[in-house]
Amino acid sequence: MQSTIFMKNKYWIITISLIFTLVGCSHVLERNTHVSRTIINTNNIESIKEKLYAQYAQWKGAKYKLGGLNKNGIDCSGFVFVTFKSKLGIALPRTTSLQVKTGKYIERNKLQAGDLVFFKTGRSFRHVGIYLEHDKFLHASTSLGVTISKLDNRYWKSKYWKAKRIKT
């Protein structure tokens, strides 16, 4: 009797997990709810850019995988999560839906290296990247993997939503 109940619960958990896995980057299950109280030192933008370009060099072309957190596959919010933690020493939430609630709103014309840029890519889907410089941002693209794109690219320009500076 107990094993039957366990099996039903096991299948329920597997079914729910699959649903969350299939819905998109902004809906990945939260893996880390601790948010660092560290503030990016905006006086050292050159150092931030160096660290972000170093991260790109290490991760360039890593395939997109929903829910992934390593070079075998990573999603957009996972890439932001890993990059901030490993390169900037800042613990962000794991999902796009929580990352967008972090930090201070920044006008697009005031973007600096390290700011998060958010996009509405569908009715309920969101995408996140990290601003570099000269209208470029670093992100995990579903089609290209980890890459650098331009904000003024036709696709990204039409999907741009908002930007946040991490200052919690």
Catalytic residues: 76, 127, 139
DSSP string, 50-117: HHHHHHHHHHTTPPB-TT-EETTEE-HHHHHHHHHHHHH-----SSHHHHTTSSEEE-GGG--TT-EE
Q: Under 8 Å CB-to-CB from 33, ≥6 apart: which residues? A: 93, 94, 98
CA distance 164 to 97: 13
Structure-token pair, residue 148 = 């650098």
Q: What is the dihedral of CA 70, 138, 22, 164, to 10 degrees?
A: 120
